Chains A and B, each alone.
Chain A
Amino acid sequence: TQLLEQSPQFLSIQEGENLTVYCNSSSVFSSLQWYRQEPGEGPVLLVTVVTGGEVKKLKRLTFQFGDARKDSSLHITAAQPGDTGLYLCAGARGGATNKLIFGTGTLLAVQP
């Protein structure tokens, strides 16, 4: 059962445009992570948000955790070709293992 839905699934934009990726669930998570995955490689963590309503910025990337800790968004300002990749959100269940439930992914292509 997929508990985390991401939208859009695919996004192709021109360099310099802004975009937002959404990650939605009906479940509450103790924290939410965003990963980026490049072709032929494993996912790499971008950020972890923990508190409802929390906003974190990583250069041109802005991450927000929903107030109810059920959803999150990733906003990229002035996208660059280097931002191209698969973006995955992952909700953490907490506890010692803190298992992750991954979203379906958003494949972003930024054209120069």
Chain B
Amino acid sequence: DAGITQSPRYKITETGRQVTLMCHQTWSHSYMFWYRQDLGHGLRLIYYSAAADITDKGEVPDGYVVSRSKTENFPLTLESATRSQTSVYFCASKPEGSGQETQYFGPGTRLLVL
């Protein structure tokens, strides 16, 4: 089914381990985003990408790395996971163009860092 998917849906890891969260979209949207959602903070932007090979920091980028070698994929890597990175992570995409304001969200990845 076309759309935006995230994997894994659930992940438990230990402090210090590297974790990669995957995001894949089938719409060929130019823009992709990574957010984390925590109680009391709403959704906060971690990184975003305007196109393949173009990425930029959001509000809370520390401890995260992204890449975008292909338009449809936007993986998020936690290089050395910390307990404060326990959260629900959402990927989103948006088409390019004036008036294209809607972001389409994936179902989320629930990450627990022990």
Contact = CB atoms under 8 A, between A and B. Distances in A.
Interface stretch (A13-21, A59-67, A70-78, A95-103): A95-103
Contacts of B92: 42
Q: Which of B41, B92, B103 has the most CB of A within 10 A?
A: B103
Given A42-B107, A97-B50, A99-B58, A33 B41 contact: no
A45 B50 contact: no
B42 A103 contact: yes
A48 interface: yes
Given A40-B108, A97-B31, A48 B43 contact: no
Contacts of B48: 97, 99
Sort chain B's interface into a size bin.
20 to 34
A96 B1 CA distance: 29
A104 B105 contact: no
Sort chain A's interface into a size bin.
20 to 34
Contacts of B58: 99
B96 to A, nearest CB: 8
Nearest to A105: B42
Interface string A75-112: 00000000000001010100011111011110000000
5 contacts: A42-B106, A42-B107, A44-B105, A99-B45, A102-B42
Interface of B: 31, 33, 35, 40-45, 48, 50, 58, 90, 92, 94, 96, 100-103, 105-108
Given A2-B42, A33-B101, A41-B108, 8 more contacts: A40-B107, A42-B90, A43-B90, A44-B105, A97-B31, A98-B100, A102-B42, A102-B44
